[in-house]
Each structure stands twice: as C-alpha cells, then as structure tokens.
Structure 1
Amino acid sequence: MKTILSSLFLIALSSLQAQNVADYKYVIVPQLFKYFVKEDYQLNTGLKTALRKKEYEIVNENSIPLDVQINPCLATKANIENTSVAFKNKLKVTFTDCNNNVISTYEGSSKEKDFTKGYQEALTFAMNQVGKQNAKDLPVTKTENTTTTTVKETTNKVVTQVSKKTVENKNVYKSNGKNYTTASTNNNVFVLIDQENSQVIAQFYPAAQQNIFHVTVISQNGNYQTIGYLNENNIIIEYKTGDKSWSTTTYSK
C-alpha cells in the first residue's frame, strides 16, 4: 500500500498545473531565445523587467530554487518568438508548463523601423496583456484504502519547511569528497541535497519495509525511480548505470 501511496504522491505533485500564467509564482527565462540568437535586441532584459513589475519571480535555468527543484510544475517557462511581417516588427510571448504545454500566449507589434525600439515596443504591448502574479497554494491529494483525503500541507508550505530545516540540519553526509545534507518534508519524506550548489539530487519516500525507501533520482538526463537504504550513519542509493545495470553509492556521516 505504501508503494502505491508513494507513486500517487509523486503523480499528484507533478500534475499540479495552473491554467494561466498569473497562477504561477516562478517564471523561467532562458538566457537566449532561439528566434533571437544572433541579436537579442535587449528582449531578455525587457522581459525580466516586465515580469518583475507584475511581481513574478525570475528563475535562471542554471540556478533553480529548491521548491522548483522538488516540484518543477511550480514554474512556467517563457519564450519569445519572432512573428514579424513586412514593415512591422511583431513578436509572440509564450508561457509553457512543466510538460511543455502552452498555457498563455500574448502578441505585440510595432511600426517602429529601428529593430531594437520596435521589438521593445512590441514586447511592451504583449506584456501589458499579462496579468499580475496571483499564485496560490496548490493542494496535494493522496488516496489510502480507497478513501481520498486532502493533505493540509500544500506544496509551497512543504517547501518552506524544507528550506527552514535545511538551514538547521546538522546531518552532513560525505561521498566522493563532497558534502550532502538532508531535509525532511512530511510523513517521513525527505530529500538529499548537494551542499555545494544547494540542489536536490534525490527524494525519498518510505517503502513497506523499515529503512527502505522508494527514491526519485533528480538527474539532468531525466529523473528516474530507484530504491535506497538508510541506517544510522549511511544513506545508500542504487543508481542506474545502464539499461539493465545498477551500482550503489554510499553517503556516510
């Protein structure tokens, strides 16, 4: 049953998606837009400025906040496309969710002949249509014994708990010359964090047997499920090394 609950927890957490850009607190803004790789026309700076005025928090792709690392669906990703036609500078600002589904699109245009001024004016017209950030706590639900209950701790509150405990946590583990620490969320769920860059590298969910956990490994090549073990002084994770091969890594106090 706990295996099912852990799976349902993950599914519920990752499937919490807002319907409008205003429902998101975080916006991931790439350093470059593929339609403006050769010349940016100050669009990156202009977009960030416009979003901050509407109280969104800007996320750099190389520095992801802890709560977004735990649940990527808390952030939307922005993109700017060049849709210009003859004698008119046009662009489209698109926001996508964690599954790359488009949630909001805004267009702007300008008759200004100078490209930088024209694209900036078009961006202003597009961003004037974007609503002010109004993100709300998103509830997480789980099912137990065919009865659905609402977990009172929302994802944002859980992340706040993680952040606070990360500061207070004195459990430092070492592996391959690097330091790691743990932070608990709720119901015996915890994360393992690389202290060097404050990134979550694994999430642990209790299994049926004591000291055995279902583990979600956070990887740049894609997250995957594995198992982990916990004793008084060690955390052990079975990492995937190939399609059908695994190896263990031990993190020791």
Structure 2
Amino acid sequence: MKKVLLTLILMLSFASFSQNINDYQYVIVPKKFDSFKEEDKHGLNTSVKLLLQKYGFKAYFSDDSFFDGNVGNRCDFLTAGLVDDSGLMVTKVRVVLKDCKGNIVYQTELGRSREKQYSIAYSQALREAAKSFETLNYKYNGNIAVAAAAEPKPVVKVIDTKTDTATVNSNEVFFFAQPTANGYQVIDNEPKVIMRLYNTSQKNVFMADKNGVNGTVLIKEGQWVFEYYDNGKLVSEPINLKF
C-alpha cells in the first residue's frame, strides 16, 4: 500500500511539473552560471541552450538581440540555471528552470560523471541530466503569450580569415568548439563530442582526432576544413565550426 501511495505521489508531482512547464515557451540562458567565475565555462551555457532548443523550448542567451524591446512581461520567461553539486571524485550537475520570482518550475535529475578531465566530465554529466527532458514530454500550451515582433532569423558567426561574420543557410549544420586544457572539443547539437582539437604553434591550425581518425583542422579560403589521409589519399572535409 505504501509503495502504491508513493508511486501516486510521484506521478502527481510529475504531472504538476509538466503542467507548469508547458505554460512557458521561452527560456533565458545566462552567459555565466552562478557556480562558475567565467562566461560559458566548459561550454556549459552553450550546451544548455542547445539542449533546451533540442527539447522544444525557444532558448536565448540573456544578451540576445531578441530581447531588444520586442518582449513584454519578464514573467513570461523562464531562466535556466545549472546546479553544480560536484564532489572530489564525481562531477554532478542538474539543470534548473525558474520563473521570474525565483521559484523552481522544473529541475532535472542529477547527472554524474567520474571522468577526471573537467570539461569532459561536465559535458557527460550534463548529457545525463538532460535525459530527464526525454520523459518530460514538453509541449507549449499557449497559455502565456509574449508580445514580440517577428523572431529574428539566426545569424551564426563563423571564424574566417577575411571576415568574422557570415549569414548562413538555416539548413546548414554547425558544430561548436568548447575550450579544453590543450585545445578544444567539438560538439554537435546533441550535444555530443564528435572531434577533439589540439593546439599547435600556428594560429588557426589544430591537430585533430575524429573518432580515431587523425588529421589537421585549419582554414582554407575562409572555410574550416578537416584534412586527413585515407589509404594514402589526402581528404579535405569542410566543417562549419563556431568558437
């Protein structure tokens, strides 16, 4: 009987979470989480934004031009946070979504990682925590309307030897480089690590490891490319990187 009652309580709590979270469409992601001293430490802010977008939210950084006079009530938005409950041996994080009064509307389970390298550990722990969104079944119900002009089309900055910005086709796939101790790890929008870059003595030239394939990532004619040898033949693959 006690087990049945406990299960019922958990189901009601989950239903309450789902009901409240579905009232919100937009989420503000700060450029720096309270647990860290630097902006986008370990690429976590970017990763949280991408994860929220993956699961149906319209997530924007706090300094995004979307907020320049186009929105109404601040309480129409949720704000994302990252709780860092890491210990000496285990990295532990959870994503928290709060309303304008600071009340927790939704929080994920704790994600854990025993990886020793911090940037990898936080990425793994965040991905595990994000699994909670898969069972949330979030779907905006339209209860809160944000008075906004037409949403801006995304403009993505791409490092280029000739110009530092470029407007790109929305169908293009972009990858994000997150700093590590000796270079970068490249993630997709899962976010999943698909490549590791290692610094060299030359600017914009990196040694690269993509799933065991070793090569070089560099800029050619304004385009990032991954070059490697396949059966003695030089292969050059374009890659859209955002640092």
Normalised TM-score (structure 2): 0.47
Please identify the structure whose Cα radius of gyration is greater: 1
